[in-house]
Amino acid sequence: MDSRRIISLFHRCIFWCNAIKSARRKHRTAQRRIRNRYDHLSPWGYSCTDCTFYRFRRCYPLAIYRWDASASLLPAIISGVLIPLACYLSAKIWVTRFSKEGLRFETLFSYLLNVCLLPGLLLGSVKSLDILYGGYTGKGGYFYDLYEITSTYALGILLVAPFYYIWTRTEKPLSHLNKQNLSYIGAYLLITLGAFIFSPGLIFIAPVVPMILAFKGEELASLLGLLGMGLIVTAIAPYDLGPFNLPDKTEGHTALLTFVLVSMITPIAIGLHVRRLNVVSRSRDRWQTKAQTDQLTGLPNRYAFFPELTNHCEAADDANTDLVLAVIDIDHFKVVNDTHGHAVGDKVLLEIAEIMRDQMRESDFVARIGGEEFAILLPGATTQQAKRALDRLRQRCEHHKITLADTELTVTISIGATHYQLSESQDTLMERADTLLYQAKNTGRNRVVVQ
């Protein structure tokens, strides 16, 4: 990811939140002076030229209400320098340590510490000292200001950066915002809004929704819901702390910030862990498929065939249905290898395998279990049905011409097939099929022997 784009993204996320916070604190002294001046009057009996928004201040005690043009510009200048610096540090750390492998569950703690908290702590430390020096520190004191600024910076990054990163690396991201996921997001936002307006207890139910989305592997939907939650809290909290409206406002603000941080980090961690499990599962499936697939013909190999034979035998026992096992061998295959070379032998195997795939039913299981030896499971087929199907396969192989560089080659196959007897062992079934295959070879080859 281009570092300039990341810097711009982080800068936009944090700038307004910190600018508003700085303005509110910077004029707190002026607010107290104006409030003291008019406290002896009725809340409605003052001059608008002296305090235009004092009435609004009485209704909403935490709102920003006045800009004092005579206030010092130093805090604003310091904020203007520190915010881009913190964003640059976050972007630089991201590009240096996380851009190659991206955001993963194993690196989540390092990401939170290095990208979110440390630059925010730098910003908060200097900014809190500036507030303390300017006399704008609230009741919470220096350390509360430090925690508030650091948390706000971290929240700004957590609200936008993971969502942007996953969105840009997801194929067809809009497909994840289907009706079901949008209904989850809508319910989450309504519950969060209801917790601030109607019932504070709803705030403890709301985090369950993004966790459900994260467990389902819907990271984008979960992060979009968290983004909406952050906007709702940002819009309402300056006027009403809702569930966190404690007697001590400082403790209420701290509890709200902590709750929002935990509510965001938990679904992100769950989503990353689920993504890791999915990657491991897909990798395991790929390796298992590769280990059970013949690399030349693409057919299942003997490691896949025998578990499948077990499953088919158990299914035949349970349902009392027919099952036929056929073992097939290419006639005189050693002569083909010795005469034309192994490359031609490989071509023969490949084309015979293609004929088997083409001739047999989708429900039949075809596998290569040895050098020139194949096996076919025919579930639900009687002995006569299997004989007709296998004889068609034999004839197709007999008439198939394999084109070489300067000539054409034909090969034949011998087949031994037997019907599964209920509750018999697989070894007995395989031995009987092998015996019938040898019988077909000993009686002239290019034939099907079924019992």
**What residue ranges do the domains of the chain occupy?**
170-291, 302-450
Task: Quote the CA–CA distance of 348 and 110 in Å, as a whole number.
Answer: 56
Place of tokens 């320098």: 81
Report the pLDDT averaged over residues 359-363. Answer: 90
Question: What does pLDDT average to over the chain?
Answer: 80
If you average pLDDT over residues 143-161, what whole number do you get? Answer: 83
Mean pLDDT lowest among 53-62, 68-77, 248-257, 422-431: 53-62
Active-site position among 251, 372, 373, 431: 372
Pick from 317, 322, 318: nearest CA to 377: 322
As a whole number, mean pLDDT of residues 145-166 equals 83
Verify whether residue 372 is a known catalytic residue.
Answer: yes
The average pLDDT across 96-102 equals: 80
Alpha-carbon distances, residue 228 vs 257, 264, 277 (angstroms): 16, 11, 27
Question: Looking at residues 325-336, what average pLDDT do you find?
Answer: 91
Average pLDDT over every residue of 135-144: 70
pLDDT digits (tens, 9 = 90+) for 212-267: 999 988 888 998 898 888 888 888 887 888 888 888 878 888 888 888 888 889 99
* pLDDT score recorded for residue 52: 36
The pLDDT of 383-396, averaged and rounded, is: 92
Asked if pLDDT for residue 38 goes beyond 60, the answer is no
- Residue 10: pLDDT band by 50, 70, 90 thresholds? low
CB of 373 closer than 8 Å to CB of 414: no
The pLDDT-based confidence of 9 (bands split at 50, 70, 90) is low
Q: How confident is the model at residue 139 (pLDDT cuts 50, 70, 90)?
A: low
pLDDT for the residue 23:
55
More confident residue, 294 or 63: 294
Q: How much is the pLDDT for 377?
A: 94
CATH number of 302-450: 3.30.70.270
Burial class (CB in 10 A: 0-12, 13-18, 19+), 104: middle
Higher pLDDT, 428 or 50: 428
What percentage of the chain exceeds 90 in pLDDT? Answer: 24
- Asked whether residue 167 carries a pLDDT value surpassing 80, the answer given is yes
CB 411 within 8 A of CB 445: no
Q: How confident is the model at residue 184 (pLDDT cuts 50, 70, 90)?
A: very high
